[in-house]
Chains A and B, each alone.
Chain A
Amino acid sequence: MKTDISVRIVFFTVALASIAILFMIMVFLFMEGLPIFKRVTLFEFMFGKYWYPTSSPPDFGIFPLILASIAVTLVSAMISVPLGVMTAIYLAELAHKRVAEIIKPIVELLAALPSVVIGFFGMVVVAPFLQNAFGVSTGLNLFNAALMLSFMSVPTICSLSEDAIYSVPTALKEGSLALGATHWETLLRVILPASISGISMAIILGMSRAIGETMVVLMVAGGAAMIPTSLMDPVRPMPASIAAEMAEASFRGDHYHALFATGIVLFLFTLMFNIVADQIAHKYRQTGEASL
Chain B
Amino acid sequence: MAGQASKKDQIKKEIMTEKIKIRARHLNFFYGHAQALYDISLDIKSSQVTALIGPSGCGKSTFLRCLNRMNDLIPISRVAGEITLDDVNINDPSVDVVMLRRRVGMVFQKPNPFPKTIFENVAYGLKVNGVSDRVFIESRVEESLKKAALWDEIKDRLHESALGLSGGQQQRLCIARALAVEPEIVLMDEPASALDPIATQKIEDLIGELKENYTIIIVTHSMQQAARVSDRTAFFYMGKLIEMDETETLFTRPRLKQTEDYITGRFG
Give the B-binding residues of A (Cβ under 8 A): 97, 169, 171-182, 185, 189-190, 193-194, 287-292
Query: Can you give 13 contacting A-B residue pairs, CB < 8 Å?
Result: A171-B108, A172-B115, A176-B128, A178-B106, A178-B108, A178-B178, A179-B101, A179-B178, A180-B101, A289-B112, A290-B110, A290-B115, A290-B163
- Known contacts A289-B110, A290-B111, A290-B115, A182 near B128 by CB under 8 Å: yes
Smallest beta-carbon distance B262→chain A, Å? 29
Contact A290 B129 (CB under 8 A): no
B81 part of interface (Cβ distance < 8 Å): no
> Considering the complex, which residues of chain B in the window 167-181 have a beta carbon less than 8 Å from any beta carbon of chain A?
174, 177-178, 181
Smallest beta-carbon distance B111→chain A, Å? 7
Smallest beta-carbon distance A291→chain B, Å? 4
B3 part of interface (Cβ distance < 8 Å): no
CA distance A189 to B121 in the complex (A): 11
CA distance A180 to B181 in the complex (A): 9
B208 part of interface (Cβ distance < 8 Å): no
- Known contacts A175-B174, A177-B70, A179-B177, A185 near B115 by CB under 8 Å: no
B1 part of interface (Cβ distance < 8 Å): no
Contact B98 A180 (CB under 8 A): yes
- Known contacts A174-B108, A175-B174, A180 near B129 by CB under 8 Å: yes
Name the residue of chain B whose CB is nearest to the CB of A97. Answer: B75
- Known contacts A169-B112, A290-B111, A176 near B124 by CB under 8 Å: yes
Name the residue of chain A whose CB is nearest to the CB of B116. Answer: A193
CA distance A189 to B120 in the complex (A): 11
- Known contacts A172-B112, A291-B163, A292-B115, A179 near B70 by CB under 8 Å: no
CA distance A171 to B68 in the complex (A): 15
B60 part of interface (Cβ distance < 8 Å): no
B114 part of interface (Cβ distance < 8 Å): yes
Name the residue of chain B whose CB is nearest to the CB of A169. Answer: B112
Contact B124 A179 (CB under 8 A): yes
Contact B98 A182 (CB under 8 A): yes
Known: A177-B70, A179-B128, A180-B181. 7 other contacts (CB 8 A): A174-B73, A179-B124, A179-B178, A180-B125, A180-B129, A291-B163, A292-B115
Cβ contacts under 8 Å, A180 to chain B: 98-99, 101-102, 125, 128-129, 181
B69-93 vs A: 1/0 string, CB under 8 Å?
Answer: 0100101000000000000000000
Given B110, B114, B163, B178, which contacts A190 in the complex, CB threshold below 8 Å? Answer: B114
Name the residue of chain A whose CB is nearest to the CB of B164. Answer: A291
B239 part of interface (Cβ distance < 8 Å): no
- The number of residues on chain B lying at the interface, defined by a beta carbon within 8 Å of a beta carbon of chain A, is 28
B112-139 vs A: 1/0 string, CB under 8 Å?
Answer: 1111100000001101110000000000
Cβ contacts under 8 Å, A190 to chain B: 114
Cβ contacts under 8 Å, A288 to chain B: 163
Smallest beta-carbon distance B107→chain A, Å? 8
CA distance A161 to B248 in the complex (A): 53
Given A97, A181, A290, which contacts B113 in the complex, CB threshold below 8 Å? Answer: A290
Smallest beta-carbon distance A177→chain B, Å? 7
Smallest beta-carbon distance B224→chain A, Å? 26
Cβ contacts under 8 Å, B110 to chain A: 171, 289-290
Contact B70 A175 (CB under 8 A): no
CA distance A291 to B73 in the complex (A): 22
B105 part of interface (Cβ distance < 8 Å): yes
Contact B98 A175 (CB under 8 A): no
Smallest beta-carbon distance B174→chain A, Å? 7
Smallest beta-carbon distance A230→chain B, Å? 43
Name the residue of chain A whose CB is nearest to the CB of B104. Answer: A178
Given A169, A177, A182, which contacts B73 in the complex, CB threshold below 8 Å? Answer: A177
Cβ contacts under 8 Å, B111 to chain A: 290
Smallest beta-carbon distance B173→chain A, Å? 11
CA distance A145 to B71 in the complex (A): 48
Interface-central residue, B75, B111, B128, by most chain A CB under 10 Å: B128
Cβ contacts under 8 Å, A169 to chain B: 112
